[in-house]
Chains A and B, each alone.
Chain A
Amino acid sequence: MKTIVTGAVLMLWTSVAAHAHPHVFVDAQAGFQIDAEQSLQALRISWRYDAFTTLFLFDVLDLDSDLDGQLNDADLATVAAAETEWQPGYNGDVNLAVAGNKWELSQPQNATASMVDGEIIVSFDLPLVNPADMSGKSASLRLYDPAYYYAYSVSVDPDSQNTDGPCEVTAIPFEPDEAEAETLWTLSTLSREETPDEPDIGARFADEILLTCD
């Protein structure tokens, strides 16, 4: 029964993801903060909102009171604070798995905001609740909104890309065909008795940032 329900949810999600419409477009950058002992301490995330959403945020957060189109330091502080005060249960659409296990993240820290070419950018650190020993392991980071109201496209934060260390960071962009193939494969395996251990369906349809350590 559980497999049937999972299968139905999977199919439903596929069809909704294909037909849902995003309203807010976010160019995100993501990076990993790893210490000398190959322990993953925190994520570095930045969100860059599209110009239209930026103007809407002006109203929502009551920014730019002199209406000159520019944000002063107080406005930027308001943005940084408002964007990183998360309601309980909201994970910022940030999903981390270490060696295949979902990993808990705490609240954002060191948030800053800026505006470039009429687009608001918010950046923050997201510490892991428990640091993860990465030696010989890989971690997968995906940014997605299950409701697809926010459309994320994710790239690797160049500042946190440490090329000479034992770890490597790669971006795997979401390819619709592959996700579809994967869904079909999952559905075909559902006819067996076992159930999929982690049916986090939304993750199958998002860009993935992969951290692989020796």
Chain B
Amino acid sequence: MRLKSLIGLGAVLFAVVGISMGLPWKEVAAWAASMQRDFQNAMAASLQAIKAGEPAAIWSLCVATAAYGFVHALGPGHGKVLLGGAAIASGATLRRMIILSLAASLAQAVCAILMITIILQAFQIASRDAVDLAETWLAPISYIAIATIGAALIVRGIKGLYRLLSINKAESQHRGCGHNHGVSLSEVKSLQSKRDIAALIGSIAIRPCTGALFLLVIAARFDIFFIGVLATLTMGLGTALFNILVAGSGVAARRLAYVGSAVSGPGLQSISAGLHIAGGLLVVGLSLVLLLPVLA
């Protein structure tokens, strides 16, 4: 049973590493960058058209921002690492992960909207400084927050394993005494409490997307700020769609680990603890890769 659970865990790690190594990342990134440029130009053209008095261009703007949000989410930030890692670790359902992905991306869009509304309108800070603030301070803060959540997942996993070991030890000491020591073992689960959910969404939302800031600044200048707000929200939906694909893959990977080992009781707990460690390591590792160049 223990062996089976290890095989399941190994299969998930193997799949995650295999997928991330196997994909032609540089080609994907180059493709995403060129698409992003096209959508960026489409956004500029739509904004000009709206300003020139073509209300129908609102739709082309929203389509362009949604598409931009989708391809842009391939880049760092935007929470895909955290959502994917959390989906592997937490035992949250697909439905829950979809809602969380949507909530995180929309919260990130709202953060951009609030930042431009408050900072630019109220404090009259130059728009370039707002972008610098997001890139210089909020991005690393977000990476740190995300890495911390990853670390918390690892700690939970280790605690779960430790509990399991101490129960096993207690059982072996009492073996043969006729008593039923069927201790009820539950899986190690995360993302069930409000605190977990708030931390997850907050760590992603704290860093507004620079593309959204550009969009809002331009819209404010053209006196179509509320159209900019709408387009920022559709950008968030585009990002959410990409994150849902990642989180969904995480949920599927987790299911595979369970199916591969077909266990219950202590085995189940050891897998869920192991998945916490694996998902947490993924999140911490990838956040640090993004954070280190900032600190250096």
Residues of A in contact with B (beta carbons under 8 Å apart): 12-13, 15-23, 25, 50-56, 58-60, 67, 69, 118, 147, 149, 151, 176-177, 179-180
Contacts and interface: CB of A to CB of B under 8 A. Distances in A.
B48, B218, B220 pick with most chain A CB within 10 angstroms = B218
Contacts of A51: 40-41, 44-45
B26 interface: yes
Contacts, number: 92
13 contacts: A16-B76, A16-B290, A18-B25, A19-B25, A21-B76, A23-B210, A53-B40, A56-B217, A58-B221, A59-B218, A69-B48, A176-B26, A177-B26
Contacts of B33: 21-22, 25, 151
B29 A19 contact: yes
A22 B36 contact: yes
Given A56-B218, A60-B127, A118 B44 contact: yes
Nearest to A15: B289
A19 B293 contact: no
Given A19-B75, A19-B289, A55-B221, 10 more contacts: A18-B29, A21-B32, A23-B214, A50-B44, A52-B214, A53-B40, A53-B214, A55-B214, A176-B26, A179-B26
Interface residues of B, number: 38
A59 B221 contact: yes
Contact of A19 (B41, B76, B221): B76
Given A23-B211, A149-B135, A54 B44 contact: yes
A52 B41 contact: yes
Nearest to A21: B75
A118 B48 contact: yes
B218 A176 contact: no
The 7 closest A-B pairs by CB, nearest first: A21-B75, A51-B44, A176-B26, A52-B40, A52-B44, A55-B218, A25-B37
A50 to B, nearest CB: 6
Contacts of A20: 29, 75-76
Given A15-B289, A60-B126, A50 B41 contact: yes
Contact of A56 (B25, B27, B76, B127): B127
Nearest to A14: B26
Given A21-B76, A52-B214, A149-B135, A176 B44 contact: no
